[in-house]
Structure 1
Amino acid sequence: MLKRIEIRDFAIIDQLGLDLGPGLTTLTGETGAGKSILLDALGLCLGDRTDRSMVPAEAGKSEVHGLFDVADTPRARAWLTEEALDEDDECLIRRVVQSNGRSQAWINGRPVTRHQLEQLGALLMGIHGQHAHQALMRPDTQRRTLDGFAAHPQRLEAVAELARRWRRVSAEIESLSGGSADHHDRIELLRYQLDELDDAAPSAEEMAELEREQRRLAGAGEIITACQQSLEALYDGETSAQSLIATAERELSAHGDVDARIDEVQQLLTTGQVQIDEACQALRQFADQLEMDPERLEAVETRLSRLHDLARKHQIEPEGLAEHAEALRAELDRLTSADERLVTLNAEKEKLFSDYREAAQTLSESRQAAAAALSERVDSLLGELGMAGAALIIAVDPDDQATPSEHGIDRVRFDVRTNPDQRPAPLQKVASGGELSRIGLALEVATADTAELPSLIFDEADTGIGGAVAEVVGRQLRALSAHHQVICITHLPQVAAQGMHQLQVDKRQNESGRTVTDVRPLVGDQRVHEIARMLGGLEITENTLNHAREMLDQAD
């Protein structure tokens, strides 16, 4: 339900904030006062395409906010949750249009695309009239309207589940068979690649060891030279570290009894000699064991080169060759065993298709029965709404060759005949704005108990009617508001009087001489005078006021 709308700098609206409640709200005012501009702003909030001509020349941008209560709107709540845009039981939509035509949109403070806004808008509100935002024109809306009236959710879910299972099995068959004639070629390629990898027998541990050994063998000469030079400096040379420390120790030993600190230094030097001796012994053993081995070096480098070539060929790191081989082996096992699996899957697919066809046919029969009942009910209402002879023809055309779909095998189409001598044609090609709005009203009333949208707006539902028919329209709108929030733009007092709330739209000149629109809620005598104005025009008499009071009293 729409709780509040705020508009700033949109067409001839400077700034406007409206709180709306449940039930029927009527919008009245002089022709050209800007009533339909409110719907344009609301349509913008619900995902309509932008029109930069609606941004006033003196304003840099237009801005519209819509606050909705989604507590009792499960489909909208589910969509918000799925898109990670949910925020308790309220939904705040903000749309900004720049003077250059660019727009931005937010849902609950998070930026969204216009497509997302349009998706959510289709779940929050239906607009009937001469506007682009007309869900009734959409084939999916027509199908959902019929399904809602038919009240067969179990049949719908059965068809949807069978279609999902059929698609999953079809996808697995496609995967196993390769989707083309290259299934056998893929098996042969995998076998060749595995033979090559198994012959190389790579492992991550071997790679690390080979690289260490290669570095050691390649640098053996430099390492031996470094060992010899180090031994010369530490022990073997005439001025080695060991001999220098020994000399220092002898010089200090004669003075150790003079100061204890000299004795401490002497002990440290002794420890240093011991450590140098141990280091030189270990270094000598390492150098003795190290030898030049060109043949082994060549073998190691050849092995490394082969592994790196394989890794480049498979576009992976050398350390991953063993893991890659296992992945190829698993794929080969799956493909070579696919023939048996394919036999099972094809049998399952055939059975699912048969079950789907049966369930879809049952759903189609239910739709056809509901279509006849809904058409009859709508036709009766259209007669009451001043469209005698008009008829809604709901076509349910099953396609026995259609690929399984979650919605079944039917193409649902709403055709209309506005006069008995006309041929039925699609809704949008036949009905005028006022006719379309009344057809929408008849459908909403006929499906009030099952319709999904929480809020409905009717524009020009009273075009071309008056008198008793206008009163019927008003009563039907009021009856509809027991199930939905209903907002109706009207020029007829019979319709306006049926509203639980009434808003008046006025046009005036502001301080700068610019024409602007204001909207204000009417209460008490204000509402009586507005109904009287609609009844009597410029001259409002006491009789007109009494008539207005009587109409309001009768409506209440």
Structure 2
Amino acid sequence: MLTGLAIRNVVLIEQLILTFESGLTVLTGETGAGKSILLDALGLALGARSESGLVRSGASLAVVTAEFSLPEDHPALALLAEQGLQTGQNLILRRQVGSDGRSRAFVNDQPISIGLLRQLGDLLVEIEGQFEAHGLLDVATHRGHLDRFAALENHVARTRGAFAAWRKAKQEHAEAAALTDKARSEEEYLRHAVAELDLAAPKPGEEAELAAERARLSNREQALEALNGAISDLSGDRGTERSLASALRRLQRIQDKLGSEGESAVAALDRASIELTEGVASLQRLIASIDADPQRLEKLEERIYLLRDLARKHRTTPDGLSELHEELKKQLASLENQGGDIAKLREAEQKAREAYVAAAESLCKGRSRAIKFLEAAVRDELPPLKLERARFTVQLEKLDEPRWGEEGWDQISFVVSTNPGAPPAPIEQVASGGELARFMLALTVVLAGGQAAETLIFDEVDTGISGATATAVGERLKRLSEHFQMLVITHSPQVAALADQHWSVAKETFRNNAITTVTALDKRQRREEIARLLAGTTITDEARAAADKLLADAK
């Protein structure tokens, strides 16, 4: 609920600090005293449109701060959490408006957008009796109010889940169909590319191996000369191989006379002879491979150029050709299977749609049944509020399929006709200020408990009424104060007498400057204010006695 309101430099208000309680709070005062300015100031803190004209003359900045105490599960806290803003259960909204019209908003001293401030305001406070689409006047809220009145939350949840499943199935079908269409449009390219890569048969790391071999073959003559020279040095008439064999034979003849040291030496030379023989054989094989295919270098060049050309063509690297080849083969193979997959996805989408239709149809029937009860309940509230000639109607319209949503396919709107034979229309279009506020009061009484906002404000709900009608208005406001924090601007003594907290709004002049003041009235002051509301400018003893009776009856 709203616990505090601080206002500085807003029109006639120089500085005010107000503390609110639960229950019914009324504000009374002479016309023009500034009661509407209080609402304008609170509206700023709730995200209403700002104007430089709201800044008090001579001031550079108007500031309004509204403080709320909220339960842990309040949707305003969930909204802030979604925005990454962490707050406690005490919520402080602050709005600054400069004399140049520029505006800034804060929540618990964290800067936020005016749009977010407005969203928070709609969840915290509902102002009735204003000629703007707000609260129950906003047709976008009517479906939710009807659902809460009829206790259809579970039906709505099932419909929301069915809609999400249908939307997911539809998206999966659409994405698969789009991929298939794209693949089919590229089928000729895929077949050509796969055939080309099939023929080339690239292997990972092949280019590096070919390049190394090409580098070796590019120096063929020099390599052969070096290899033949090495073999000559190792195996010729004076080569190492022959010398090593001769030395080994000499030592083997006297090996038994050389002891252990000699045996180790003979063994080492024997190993060296074997390694040398194998090395010579390797060199001979290498010479043979270089000489085996005189056109090998040309073939290597052609293969390297082919791999690099394919890599450029497919925008990859030669080493990436093998992986690309496999991927393209998979895409081509999937074309033959996608027809069956698309059929399955189409069937899944159709089943999901049918499930949504069933849930939405059930929800629609529940709403249709609830409408007559809501209309009857509001109809019973209208005569005591001097609206006996008015007719309240709930219109239900089935939307076209493109407009179906997670809460079904029903468009719900509350409409009224204030005179017999007049066509029904939105409430704010056919009701005067006082009628509008009383219509909102009737609706709020019937729909009590369905609003997210815990604070309700009624602006001059008693305009143009008196006597029994004013008493009926007061009784309903008092009844609502059991569920909501109620703030009521009133000229009715019957309403004022029922208040738990009573403030008087007045306009005073200091140093030729008009200033709006707000005073919390004690028991004696309340009696005088209610007597003033009864008698006018001159308060009589009879008016005081009538005020005493109203206060006594209110207990």
Q: TM-score if structure 2 supplies the norm length?
A: 0.77
Alpha-carbon deviations, 1:173-227, whole Å to 9, x = none? Answer: 11011189545215555666677788888899789x69x989x99xx9xxxxxxx
Pairs within 5 Å for 1:88-237: 88-132=88-132, 134-178=134-178, 182=182, 184-188=184-188
The residue aligned with 1:521 is 520
Measured at CA, do residues 149 and 195 of structure 1 come closer, stay the same or move farther in structure 2, by a change above 3 Å?
A: farther
Q: What amino acid is the match of 2:545?
A: N
Instruction: Check whether the contact 1:48–1:132 (CA below 8 A) recurs between aligned residues.
Output: no
Q: How does 1:393-412 map to 2 (within 5 A)?
A: 393-399=393-399, 401=401, 403-412=403-412
Q: Please give the secondary structure, in 2, of the residue aligned with 1:63.
A: strand
Letter in 2 for 1:354: E
Give structure 2 stretches of 5+ with no counterpart: 220-296
Cα deviation digits, residues 133-156 of structure 1 (max 9, x gap): 622222221111111101111111
Residues 1:509 and 2:509 are matched in the alignment: yes
Taking the aligned partners of 2:155 and 2:6, their CA distance within structure 1 comes to 42
Counterpart Cα distance in 1 of 2:116 and 2:386: 38
Deviates more, 1:52-61 or 1:159-168: 52-61
Deviation at 1:166, TM superposition (A): 0.5
Query: C-alpha displacement at 1:514, in angstroms?
Result: 2.2
Q: How far apart in 1 are the matches of 2:474 and 2:176?
A: 62
Structure 1 residue aligned with 2:52: 52
Distance 2:90 2:326 in 1: 53
Compared CA separation, residues 415 and 319, structure 1 to 2 (3 A): farther
Question: What does residue 8 of structure 2 align with?
Answer: 8
Q: Which residue of 2 aligns with 1:375?
A: 375
The question of whether the paired residues in 2 share the 8 Å contact of 1:177 and 1:183 is answered with no
Q: Equivalent residue for 2:66?
A: 66
Match for 2:143: what amino acid?
Answer: R
Native 8 Å contact 1:71 1:90 kept in 2: no
**Partners of 1:179 and 1:390 in 2: CA distance:** 59
CA contact (8 A) 2:4 2:18 kept: yes
Equivalents in 1 of 2:60, 2:390: separation in Å? 47
Alignment RMSD: 3.5
In structure 2, the residue corresponding to 1:178 is in which secondary structure? helix
Aligned to 2:384: 384
- Contact residue 86 and residue 108 of structure 1 kept, 8 A: no
Unpaired segments ≥5 residues, structure 1: 221-293
- Percent of paired sites with the same residue: 37
Residues 200, 307 of structure 1: 8 Å contact kept: no
1:525-544 to 2 correspondences below 5 Å? 525-544=524-543
Q: Rg larger in 1 or in 2?
A: 2
Q: 1:365 to 1:330 in 2, by over 3 A?
A: same
Distance verdict in 2 for CA 1:10–1:198, change over 3 Å: farther
Query: Do the aligned partners of residues 297 and 115 (structure 1) sit closer, same or farther apart at CA in structure 2, a change above 3 Å counting?
Result: farther
Whichever residue aligns with residue 454 of structure 2, its letter is P
Query: Given that residues 7 and 41 in structure 2 are in contact (C-alpha distance below 8 angstroms), is that contact kept between their aligned partners in structure 1?
Result: yes
Quick one: which amino acid aligns to residue 499 of structure 2? G
- Higher mean alpha-carbon deviation, 328-337 vs 382-391, is at 328-337
Alpha carbons of 1:69 and 1:306: their partners in 2 closer, same or farther (altered >3 Å)? farther
Q: How much has 1:305 moved relative to structure 2?
A: 6.1
**CA distance in structure 1 between the aligned counterparts of 2:417 and 2:133, rounded to whole angstroms:** 23
Q: Which residue does the alignment assign to 1:359?
A: 359
**2:467 is aligned with 1:467:** yes
- What is the one-letter code of the residue matched to 2:373? A
Within 5 Å, give how 1:471-510 maps onto structure 2. 471-510=471-510
Q: Secondary structure at the match of 1:369?
A: helix
Cα distance change of structure 1 residues 416 and 339 upon mapping to structure 2, 3 Å threshold: same
Please tell me whether the aligned partners of residues 169 and 349 of structure 1 are also in contact (alpha carbons under 8 angstroms): yes
TM-score when normalising by structure 1: 0.77
Match of 1:232 in 2: none
**Distance of aligned partners of 1:479 and 1:324 in 2 relative to their CA distance in 1, 3 Å threshold:** farther
User: CA separation of 1:359/1:205 partners in 2, compared to 1, >3 Å: closer, same or farther?
Assistant: same
Change in Cα spacing, 1:466 to 1:331, as seen in structure 2 (3 Å) is: farther
- Residue 40 of structure 2 aligns with an amino acid whose one-letter code is D
Aligned residues: 480
2:13 and 2:56 in contact (8 A); partners too: no
Distance 1:342 1:545, change over 3 A: same
> Following TM superposition, by how much is the alpha carbon of 1:442 offset from its aligned partner in structure 2, in angstroms?
0.6
- Any idea what the Cα deviations from partners look like across 1:332-391, whole Å, max 9, x if unmatched? 676664322221121122122222222211111111121111111111111111111112
CA distance in 1, matches of 2:322, 2:38: 68
> Which is further off, 60-69 or 126-135?
126-135
